Amino acid sequence: MSYLLALDQGTSSSRSIVFDRAGRVVSMAQREFRQIYPQPGWVEHDPRDLWTTQLETAREALKNAGLTAADVRAVGITNQRETTVVWNRRTGEPVYNAIVWQDRRAEDACARLREGGHEARVQALTGLRIDAYFSGTKLQWILDRVPGARAAAERGELAFGTVDSWLIWQLTGGRRHVTDHSNAARTLLFNINTQQWDDELLGLLNIPRSLMPESLPSSADFGTVQAEWLGAELPIGGVAGDQQSALFGQACFQAGMAKNTYGTGCFMLMHTGRRFQTSQNGLITTACAQPPGAPQFALEGSVFIGGAVVQWLRDGLRAIESSSEVQAMAESVPDAGGVMLVPAFTGLGAPYWQPEARGSITGLTRGTTMAHIARAALESIAFQSAALLDAMSRDAVAAGGVPVSELRVDGGACVNDLLMQIQADLLGIPVVRPAVVETTALGAAYLAGLQCGLYEGLDELSAQWRAERTFHPTLSRADAAGRMAAWEHAVRQTVAV
């Protein structure tokens, strides 16, 4: 029983990965599921799709590994974070589709809160900005807009959860309604200093407390997977939101260590230890995934459209047939030919926070080809991430620390060597890709392994981390600064539109 099963429920697919004790991938299974776009700016998932694809991949991963549930020591869960699900406690049926983190329908409600002068107080309690990105106003929308939902909630008949809570409810047969602090910290309803749901915040958004799950440290007893699902009962010992889980899986346990995940979006986190630091440069403060103990924090910047820009090239422009083709197309030209693509398809996240911005392509000429646009699309991922690291380093210096000296990377797009080299060139620091790039799932597995006693502590996990390749910057700092200036000019043009 030295294997760990990680359930990784993401924005575009559900995956399950079996790890051995050394943190190596033994087997993996993945299923995409339907994306629902009811109108511009709205993004939904069917919660039942999230559950069924996750269960199917868990069974498939065990089968592919030649294992049974009896060989598995514990289960860890990591998930797309702010995505919001509300369901009936008695029937287990969702009252509405899951509203995805990318969804912008609650922007009017957020604007009213900001205009009411609540931003500073909310940030002091939660570490977050008031933005439709987070779960609280999505939950408020469901209660106010779905017929009968608010009345049912006030009667205590409904349960709210981020995707981790929804999966745990299903896995445990409705016996546990729980989340972890790292997911709770993304709701606008959780005080990350006290690690409790906050009555002031619940009142501000008019959310009945009866809806809320119990919140636990990320390494804890989250219940037991019922035998009917995988063939034997299994303890759920680790839960964390995907980005905090990746920070943990990258062994970034000390203040000043940073990682960037290249997924549907891009998410950069820098560990700040036990210091709650309010960003002066457009970032947010979030709770780290951690075992029980004093709260630990991280600064975070979120890019809404990262790898999704490649999906847009594939599905929207039909410029490529599969995402794997983008590197070859981008490498067929020496540069983007002056083209800048700002993928503000759902607004701009940190450090800009421009919810009304929309995507733009500038610098087009008669000589522009699809290869130039593909390269500009890849570069847009690196430009947005470089803007985040610059903000992060300025915050670190202001707090008496030092700029980030190395960036650990993970996520699906980090296997793109061209993108990683562009990233190192823009940042001017080494970009390090680990031997195990599935660090989001690995973090959840490690948290579960700590809870069940498979690992003794963080030092053992740090010793297991290995680099696969380091990308060193080759661009002069003057040239990098010029490229970033051109990017910021393109962003200003986009926002002006």
Q: How far is CA 115 from CA 9, 70, 130, 131, 330, in A?
A: 35, 55, 11, 12, 44
Using 50, 70 and 90 to split pLDDT, how confident is the model at 276?
A: confident
Joined together, the tokens standing for residue 231 give 């063939």
Of 52-61, 158-167, 398-407, which gets the smallest average pLDDT? 398-407
pLDDT at 12: 87
DSSP string, 397-448: HHTT------EEEESGGGG-HHHHHHHHHHH-S-EEEES---HHHHHHHHHH
Distance of CA 450 to the CA centre of its chain: 22
On whether residue 399 sits in a domain, the answer given is no
The predicted model gives 363-373 an average pLDDT of 94
The predicted model gives 141-156 an average pLDDT of 97
The predicted model gives 305-310 an average pLDDT of 88
Using 50, 70 and 90 to split pLDDT, how confident is the model at 238?
A: very high
Find the angle CA(100)-CA(491)-CA(37) to the nearest 5 degrees: 25
* Dist CA 125 CA 284 (whole Å): 12
Has residue 401 got a pLDDT over 80?
no
Has residue 497 got a pLDDT over 60?
no
Handedness of CA 351, 280, 393, 482 (dihedral sign): positive
* Type of residue found at 119: E
Has residue 45 got a pLDDT over 70?
yes
pLDDT at 119: 93
Q: Quick one: 457 exposed, middle or buried, by C-beta within 10 A (0-12, 13-18, 19+)?
A: exposed
Q: How far is CA 363 from CA 15, 43, 318, 338, in A?
A: 39, 30, 21, 5
Q: Residue 131: in which H helix or E strand, if any?
A: none
Find the angle CA(391)-CA(395)-CA(397) to the nearest 5 degrees: 120
On whether residue 452 sits in a domain, the answer given is no
The predicted model gives 426-433 an average pLDDT of 96
Who has greater pLDDT, 275 or 38?
A: 38
Has residue 371 got a pLDDT over 60?
yes
The predicted model gives 394-420 an average pLDDT of 87
Distance of CA 161 to the CA centre of its chain: 16
pLDDT at 411: 85
Q: Which tens digits make up the pLDDT trace of 83-136?
A: 999 999 999 999 999 999 989 999 999 999 999 999 999 999 999 989 898 999
- Residue showing tokens 């090239």: 313
Which residue range(s) make up the domain with 104? Answer: 3-242
The predicted model gives 287-305 an average pLDDT of 89
On whether residue 353 sits in a domain, the answer given is no
Contacts of 322 (CB under 8 A, 6+ apart): 314
On whether residue 488 sits in a domain, the answer given is no
Has residue 315 got a pLDDT over 70?
yes
Share of the chain above pLDDT 70, in %: 99
Beta bridge partners of 362: 340
* Dist CA 380 CA 374 (whole Å): 10
DSSP string, 377-391: HHHHHHHHHHHHHHH
- Residue showing tokens 């998410």: 267
On whether residue 324 sits in a domain, the answer given is no
Contacts of 313 (CB under 8 A, 6+ apart): 319, 320, 326, 373, 374, 377
Most confident range (mean pLDDT) of 206-215, 255-264, 404-413 is 206-215
On whether residue 261 sits in a domain, the answer given is no
* Dist CA 147 CA 127 (whole Å): 32
pLDDT at 496: 62
Handedness of CA 348, 303, 211, 86 (dihedral sign): positive
Direct distance between the N- and C-terminal alpha carbons of the chain, in angstroms, rounded to an integer:
58
Contacts of 399 (CB under 8 A, 6+ apart): 272, 275, 277
Q: If DSSP states are collapsed to H, E and C, what string results for 146-177? A: CCCHHHHHHCCCEEEEEHHHHHHHHHCCCCCC
* Type of residue found at 97: N
The predicted model gives 484-490 an average pLDDT of 94
Has residue 396 got a pLDDT over 80?
yes
* Dist CA 444 CA 220 (whole Å): 11
Question: For 70, which DSSP code?
Answer: G
Among the listed residues 10, 45, 47, the one whose alpha carbon sits nearest the alpha carbon of residue 30: 10
The predicted model gives 209-236 an average pLDDT of 97
On whether residue 225 sits in a domain, the answer given is yes
pLDDT at 254: 87
pLDDT at 355: 78
Question: For 473, which DSSP code?
Answer: P
Counting the structural domains of the chain, the total is 1
To the nearest whole number, what is the mean pLDDT of the chain?
93
Question: For 130, which DSSP code?
Answer: -
pLDDT at 437: 87
Has residue 1 got a pLDDT over 80?
no
On whether residue 408 sits in a domain, the answer given is no
Q: Are the C-beta atoms of 375 and 313 separated by less than 8 Å? A: no
Give the CATH number for residue 100.
3.30.420.40
Q: How far is CA 259 from CA 109, 138, 309, 432, 437, in A?
A: 32, 28, 21, 9, 12
SS3 370: helix
* Dist CA 143 CA 99 (whole Å): 12
Has residue 275 got a pLDDT over 90?
no
